Amino acid sequence: MDMDQKKLRQLLQNSDKTFEQYQQHPSSDSFAEEYEQAKNELNQYMAQVRKSISHKSP
């Protein structure tokens, strides 16, 4: 579980950081792309967590 929390914390921090950079430079395609990638990684991870939880519950 510790690894899961560390991974989640890392993904959240990365999405926050890239969002702040994108906010400061809204016309930058590279910052927009980095933010979208960070969001996608977080969303994929959350989908995996939800799937694993749903398989564990009766």
For the cut 90, the answer to whether the pLDDT of residue 42 exceeds it is yes
**Residue reference for tokens 């590279």:** 30
The pTM of this model reads: 0.84
Euclidean distance between CA atoms 34 and 47, whole angstroms: 20
Euclidean distance between CA atoms 11 and 25, whole angstroms: 21
Q: Predicted confidence band at 44 (pLDDT cuts at 50, 70, 90)? A: very high
Tell me, what's the pLDDT at 58?
63
**Residue reference for tokens 């991974």:** 7
For the cut 70, the answer to whether the pLDDT of residue 49 exceeds it is yes
| Over residues 4-22, mean pLDDT | 96
